[in-house]
Each structure stands twice: as C-alpha cells, then as structure tokens.
Amino acid sequence: MQLPIEISYRGVEKTDEIDNLIRTKADRLDKFCDHITRCEVAIEQPNQSQREGSPFRVRVDVRVPPGHELVADEKQTEHEMHEPLTKIIGDAFKTMERQLKDLVERQRHEVKTHVEERALITKLFSDYGFITDGGGVDIYFHRNAVVNGDFAELKIGTEVRFDLSHGEMGPQASTVHVVSTGGPKL
C-alpha cells in the first residue's frame, strides 16, 4: 500500500492476531489495484449487552484516485451471531476485492475508449483523403469526418488524430481531428 493502513477498534479488544490479519488482507488489495492511496478499517461490536451474543461489524474504506471512495461494510446477521470476527473481516475484504476489480475494469475501459491513433495526411482529393498510419497502411477519410477544422484547409503532412473503423473497402477514419498543420497545400 502507498499509505499505512489505519485500524480502529470500538467495543472490541485490540489483538496482534487481528491487526496482522487485517494488514495481510489489506496488502492483498494491492494485487487488485496498485494505486490505492488510503485504507481504513473499523472493527466494532456495537451492542455488547445483547443476550444472544454481540454482532461484529467490519468496515473497510479505500480511496483510489481520481476521487473514488469504496466502502465494504459487513455485519453479522442474527443467524451468524456465533461466526468468529476473523470470518467477518475476511468477508469485508472479499467484498472490497470485488469492488476494486470492478473499478479497475471500468478505469481500463475508460482509457481504452479514449485512445485515438495519430497519423499524417498523405493524399487529398476533392471530398476525401487518405491518412497513413505508422505501419504504412492507408486509411480513407471523408471530408465530413473532419471534426475540428475545414477540409479545404487541410494539407499533405498534416498530423491528425482519428478513430478507426472498418468500411466496405477497408479501414477508414470515422472522425479526424487536426493536431498540427504540415507541408504545402496541394
């Protein structure tokens, strides 16, 4: 973890065994998300005066940039009154692992959807042109695909970002964004 874990106890006796279990489980969270900035764990036994036992509550609070706070809050139910605290801790961390997996997957998907390729315009005609990517593949684009510029102002050698799609005749750019202008206009 990037920051030390904070463990608080309320109505529960602090033991090295519980501390070590929590630290081990928290270290394991790095396996699912390597950019956690904060991890707080609260262990509670709120109703110590119950006749049938005292339920435990374990809350794991994790912060992940940019601005995500994940919370796993596990409580014993009436039929779980005699489950050990270690099981409730394990359940809380399993819930947090699932939340971290989901968050990381969403973050990866967001990154993938925003990746745009870059290339140079190599051929221009009256209503369309071709972009050549780094691998030497010609990619067709229509004048209507140019988003932030006027097609008539484009030049050979202009650097562009584009979204790649596949048309009937092969690869084509569905959107073209001018990054920088190139050589002389033809």
Question: What is the extent of the structural domain holding 175?
Answer: 117-180
Least confident of 10-14, 20-24, 109-113, 115-119: 109-113
pLDDT tens sequence across 122-137: 999 999 999 987 777 8
pTM of the model: 0.54
* 148 shares its domain with 134: yes
Residue 48 phi, psi (nearest 5): -70, -15
pLDDT at position 125, please? 94
pLDDT tens track for 149-171: 788 889 998 888 888 777 777 78
**Quick one: 100 and 38 in the same domain?**
yes
Starting at the edge strand found earlier in the chain, the sheet holding 38-44 runs 6-10, 38-44, 57-64, 68-75
Does residue 89 sit in the same domain as residue 135?
no
Number of domains in the chain: 2
| 14 and 104, same domain (yes or no) | yes
Residue 172 sits in a domain whose CATH number is 2.40.50.140
Residues 106 and 170 in one domain: no
